[in-house]
Structure 1
Amino acid sequence: MRATIDPYMQLLGLQTRLLEPGRAVVTAQVKPEHLNIHGNCHGGFLYSLADAAFALASNSHGTPAVALTTQMQYFKAVKAGEHLEAHASEENLGQRTATYRIEIRNQERVVALFTGTVFRFVAER
């Protein structure tokens, strides 16, 4: 994998804490500019955090991969100042597709769950 941070991750203040085959951990500090009109962390910020971990984990084998489908579930509100971790794990690695589970955690509490499947650009034999 070439880079562990891209310009969008940098813009949002996301940091890569772990990157190994099929796994990634990305962290973020929730800032006031990440809040929605209710004063909670914006769902789009949470999605971006999970998606960054998804991208890193799914590309960690050296085979380019792009998202086919994703799903996000939000469980708990998150406030400014809270520290989040997105833990991505590979659930299934196939020849052309792979599926990942990403838990967004605030300490040990899971605040959101993201699942996604990628298409893998495997070289023809």
Structure 2
Amino acid sequence: MTGPDPACRALGIALEEAAAGRARLRMRVTEDMVNGHGVAHGGYLFLLADAAFDHACNSRGPVMLAHSAQVTFLRPAAAGDVLVAEATERARHGRHGVYDVTVRRPAGEIIAEFRGHGVVVAGRPTDEGKTP
């Protein structure tokens, strides 16, 4: 998570809001995050979305890690852009959870959509059979 996560700290990713099954994080795209095409590198966009996913899926405990994830890039982002990633729990049952993350500019333009599948790796699953 962003507190003890050196990668998120190094990139300036900040947690804005967290609740059960939800999270919102913010990141400013820097010149160091731009690829050879002059737009934000997809890996940084994925990392921002993944960090929001991490907060949402670990908001209830016990420890959950990504089982798989995919991202769809819809628009380019540029150096100087501020991006917000909002994660929402879609379903959770037993040891498994499904989370959607939308990465957008604060004005609302969607940059990317991410879906992550998490699995509990420690302790007992919580909220057995409940979905939001």
Tell me which amino acid in the other structure corresponds to 2:54. A
Percent identity over the alignment? Answer: 33
Specify the SS of the correspondent of 1:47: helix
Shift of residue 4, structure 1, vs aligned partner: 4.5
Residue equivalent to 2:35: 36
1:1-125 pair list within 5 angstroms: 4-5=2-3, 6-107=5-106, 108-121=108-121, 122-123=123-124
Cα-Cα RMSD = 1.3
Any gaps of 5 or more consecutive residues in structure 2? 126-132
| Aligned length, in residue pairs | 122
1:69-90 superposed Cα distances (whole Å, 9 cap, x missing partner): 1010000011111110000000
Specify the SS of the correspondent of 2:61: coil
Equivalent-residue separation in structure 1 for 2:111 and 2:2 (angstroms): 24
Shift of residue 93, structure 1, vs aligned partner: 1.1
The alignment's TM-score, normalised by the length of structure 2, stands at 0.88
Equivalent-residue separation in structure 1 for 2:105 and 2:21 (angstroms): 22
1:29-51 superposed Cα distances (whole Å, 9 cap, x missing partner): 11100100111000000000000
Tell me which amino acid in the other structure corresponds to 1:41. A
Any gaps of 5 or more consecutive residues in structure 1? none
Specify the SS of the correspondent of 2:124: coil
Tell me which amino acid in the other structure corresponds to 2:124. A
Moved over 4 A (4+): none
Specify the SS of the correspondent of 2:110: strand
